[in-house]
């Protein structure tokens, strides 16, 4: 099992061989270690052997800061969640996602990468099977009408300085009220603790199972049409 270098990241092909049944795109936080997320992806890959993983480079590499400046590691977080900032990152990210099969796509993000993943799905209507967001900045105002089929799974930590249990509960309730299949969990430890990786693996397995069921349904429909 080895990683293949891409222009803006790395790809891990399914360890079972053959074409992927699902594609998981992982979005970094600012300055987050690529090696740490590779190790996490490799753990998950053992549980979903027909899935490919794509780790894009950190947000500051996908969307270089204007005027030759430098990204602050936290980007003041509040400013980093501003729609204009997120929209600019999305514009740089969309061409990287466009070649991927949206029906097989699951977006996974950590911290600011999670905020970007939610912004893609909820405000840009990006088509995917699901979003797994680790400690995102939760949107304060959601669109009145959200038309997405993607499932949203949120993982938060009690160690997070900006989101608490009540915030997560309110976000899940707000999404559910708009017809979105949303669930969340709050961890006692850090996001990348063993507990966090295990919870992420469970949610990821659920989202990938959704892709597989949709594919089986599609194949069954094709066979039925051909038989008739």
Q: How many CA atoms lie within 13 A of 123 on its CB side?
A: 19
pLDDT tens-digit readout, 68-122? 554 443 344 444 456 777 888 888 889 999 999 999 999 999 998 999 999 999 8
pLDDT tens-digit readout, 211-222? 988 766 444 445
**pLDDT score of 135:** 93
CB 125 within 8 A of CB 100: no
Q: Among candidates 132, 60, 54, which has minimal Cα distance to 97? A: 54
Higher pLDDT, 165 or 50: 50
Q: Reduced to 3 states, what is the DSSP secondary structure of residue 53?
A: strand
Is it the case that residue 32 has pLDDT exceeding 60? yes
Question: Quick one: pLDDT band at residue 129, thresholds 50, 70, 90?
Answer: very high
Residues 103, 120, 30, 141, CA torsion sign: negative
pLDDT tens-digit readout, 36-48? 999 999 999 999 9
Instruction: Please give the full DSSP string across 62-84, using - where no structure is assigned.
Output: HSPPGGG----SSTTTTGGGSHH
Per cent of the chain over pLDDT 90 is 52
**pLDDT score of 43:** 97
Q: Rounded CA gap, 188 and 195, in Å?
A: 8
Six-digit token string for 188: 């006692």
**pLDDT score of 148:** 82
Domains of the chain in start order, with CATH, are 3-227 (3.40.50.1820)
**pLDDT score of 185:** 95
Q: Among candidates 114, 122, 133, 119, which has minimal Cα distance to 85? A: 119
Question: Quick one: pLDDT band at residue 137, thresholds 50, 70, 90?
Answer: confident
Six-digit token string for 102: 């949206």
**pLDDT score of 125:** 80
**pLDDT score of 197:** 97
Average pLDDT over residues 53-82: 59
Q: Tokens 């990204």 correspond to what residue? A: 71
């Amino acid at each position: 099992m080895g990683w293949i270098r891409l222009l803006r990241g790395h790809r891990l092909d399914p360890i079972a061989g053959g074409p992927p049944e699902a594609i998981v795109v992982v979005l970094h936080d600012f300055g987050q270690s690529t090696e740490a997320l590779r190790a996490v992806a490799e753990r998950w890959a053992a549980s979903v052997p027909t899935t490919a993983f794509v780790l894009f480079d950190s947000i500051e590499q996908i969307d270089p800061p204007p005027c030759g400046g430098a990204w602050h590691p936290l980007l003041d977080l509040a400013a980093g969640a501003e729609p204009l900032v997120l929209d600019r990152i999305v514009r740089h990210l969309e061409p990287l996602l466009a070649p991927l099969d949206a029906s097989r796509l699951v977006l996974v993000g950590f911290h600011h990468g999670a905020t970007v993943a939610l912004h893609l799905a909820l405000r840009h209507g990006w088509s995917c099977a699901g979003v797994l967001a680790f400690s995102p900045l939760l949107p304060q105002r959601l669109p009145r009408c959200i038309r997405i089929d993607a499932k949203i799974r949120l993982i938060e930590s009690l160690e997070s300085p900006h989101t608490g249990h009540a915030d997560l509960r309110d976000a899940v309730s707000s999404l559910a009220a708009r017809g979105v299949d949303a669930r969340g969990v709050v961890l006692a430890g850090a996001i990348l603790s063993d507990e966090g990786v295990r919870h992420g693996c469970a949610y990821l397995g659920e989202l990938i199972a959704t892709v597989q069921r949709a594919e089986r349904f599609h194949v069954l429909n094709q066979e039925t049409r051909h038989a008739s």
